Amino acid sequence: MAKKQTTQYNDASITMLKGAERVRKRPAVIFGSDGLEGCEHSVFEIVSNSVDEAREGYGSVITLTAYNDRSISVEDFGRGIPLGWNETEQRYNWELVYCELYAGGKYDNNADGAAYEYSLGLNGLGACATQYSSEYFSVKSYDGSHLTEMDFEKGDPAGELRVRDLSPKERRTGTVQHWKPDLDVFTDIAIPREYFADMLKRQSVVMPGIRFVFRWQNEDGTFEEEEYYYENGIEDYIAEIAGDTAEIKTTTWHLETKGRDREDMSDYKLKCDVSFTMSKTVHVLEYYHCSSYLEHGGSPERAVKTAFTYAIDKRLKTLGKYNKNEAKITFADVEDCLILITNSVSTQTSYANQTKKAITNTFIAEAMTAFLKEQLEIYFLENPQDADKLLTQVLINKRSRETAETARLDLKKKLTTAGADAVNRIEKFVSCRSKDPDKRELYIVEGDSALTSCKLGRDAEFQAIIPVRGKTLNCLKATYDKIFKNEIIVDLLKLLGCGVEIKGKVKGNIVPFDLNALRWSKIIICTDADEDGFQIRTLILTMFYRLLPTLIDEGRVYIAESPLYEITTKTDTLFAYNEPEKAQITSKLDAENKKYKLQRSKGLGENEPEMMWKTTMNPESRRLIRVSKADAEATAYIFETLLGDDITERKDFIFRRGIDYMDTVDAY
């Protein structure tokens, strides 16, 4: 039954927000969020205005200071924001810039004599919206001979405009803006240091020759200072990213053109720089427009994807590199070996919204696509060796992706048949009665003999067992195709029930990892305390490290400690898990004049059920080691070093650590 309405909705119900309330009540409309992300973007809006001045050639240093009271200041050495009387508008410019949305000096960028030719600020919103959303905001503007100041509180003017002459020593140009984001507007204003550093670094990348200074005030009042400067812009940035992994020489192309988004619209200017290199290990693609980092891409991203895929595919076909009936490459195959940065500016820009994380200009996408296609075609002809490296690696990426996709599809078929009946049909798997995944434990044991001992010694209510038959595959070196043909591994994955984690971007019917689908509270690796047992344990851990690292991160994988010694007295049997424990127990028995028998513990398969329960399976008395991420990484490193293909690393390891293992070498 509909609720009876008691309120009226009529002509008097419509209201309009005025002044600062237009932003203070709805900050997310301007900044994309009323939380920390929106607060961060308000800072970016102020920095953007200083960047626009520097781009026009006014000032080469921009300083941002983050104070420990959460206030921020941005200082530049540009022309200074005009704050005085505006004859045309018959209002003060401080009011237009800081108290009026859609007012500013960047609406006629395409016109001759415009204050700004290329600018990040376009809409006349940023400075005003940031002022409106601040607890307080002060601005100082230097024009070379005068200092003009204005203050605001909670979005409203606080006092009158102040103007004074500058002394000869004070004379300078630029703007200093100091404000504190308002907690009445944003839910969080504690902007982390990393945001400021990342934002300023990105600005320096696309503003070659401009120095960005970041000052961070510690809680004790002291300041730490960092500088970001790239003399050659994106070329220097690519060199920094690639380091010594670059396989080919960095190439940079420059485009300067003009065009229009629609036939009946006016032309506008576009400039664009594109730099790229190839790396087998580092993959970075970043797009910038008028200094804004295009996190969501848009026109430049579409151009890069279209042009690189088209040009490389065309070249591969021309050279006959494809196998018969082989599918063509995709951009995923290209980006897996590409480090590429684009830096473009235009006199007219269509941003997806005020946060400027994507642009939608049709002309920019079309012009960049045509330009990149042409440049790549020339590049392939003029740089045959580098081109061959790029083409070869793209083909390798493509075929690796297809192999991995096939493996995933096969694995999907294998693992999705793992219902209760299929699980119970796994060879020699011993299930338990409980169906509660928060109680059930899976023991992975070494061989059939250990299976028998554990089966007789367990609690059948919640403890299940699967034996490892023979040596497990080395998953660190094997291909996915080989891994998922291994019966032991596939059986184990079926039992776990949570899918598998495979790195890499692969389309198609994959097996998603789902921690909530895991059927066990603990997965316990239980092997003998000898060389064979250690190797089997290492191989199993390596499998988890590569295929199911989240289970390790979540603390679901354990190692059951097996006792090294049995110490039998007339009345009891004691167990020592290491040499110090053996010494401690025997010393105590010697002190009490008790007779005892000391013997090396048998393998798991020779243990009596009662002993298995007491030492290995009873939650009250067993010893389990939870495997950490660091443990797994160390295990994988040792395994890769000793059994991998890096001979130099193996020799170095033996040289450094071989002495530690001399006592295990047979004496002849």
At 615, phi and psi to the nearest 5? Answer: -90, -25
Residues of the chain with pLDDT under 50: 1, 106-107, 110-111, 113-114, 120-123, 418, 420, 505-510, 650, 659, 661-668
On whether the CB atoms of residues 327 and 389 are closer than 8 A, the answer is no
Q: Which residues contact 161 (CB under 8 A, 6 or more apart)?
A: 83, 84, 92, 94, 148, 149, 150
Q: Which pTM value belongs to this model?
A: 0.62
How far is 523 from 123, CA to CA, in rounded Å?
58
Q: What's the pLDDT at 604?
A: 73
What was the pLDDT predicted at 542?
86
Task: Give 88's DSSP letter.
Answer: T
Cβ-proximal residues to 8 (8 Å cutoff; 6+ apart), any chain:
none
pLDDT of 446:
85
* pLDDT for residue 38: 93
Placement of tokens 């209760």 in the chain = 420
Give the per-residue SS3 of 597-649: EEEECCCHHHCCHHHHHHHHHCCCCCCEEECCHHHHHHHHHHHHHHHCCCHHH
User: Looking at residue 4, what is its pLDDT?
Assistant: 54
Among 547, 539, 433, smallest CA distance to 493 is for 547
What does the alpha-carbon distance between residue 525 and residue 551 come to, in Å, rounded to a whole number? 13
Single out the residue of 423, 435, 421 nearest to residue 497, CA to CA: 423
Distance CA 268, CA 111 (A): 10
**Token pair 């104070």 is at which residue?**
67
The pLDDT, as a whole number, for residue 471 is 63
d(C-alpha 105, C-alpha 326), whole Å: 56
Number of H helices, E strands in the chain: 21, 24
Helix (H, G, I), strand (E, B) or coil at 257: strand
H helices of 56-171, in order, are: 93-99, 126-132
pLDDT tens digits, one per residue of 89-104: 899 999 999 998 876 5
Q: Which residues, in sequence order, are bridge partners of residue 466? A: 444
Q: Give the Cα separation of 547 and 561 in Å (integer).
A: 24
List Cα–Cα distances, 605 to 457, 624, 630, in angstroms: 11, 19, 31
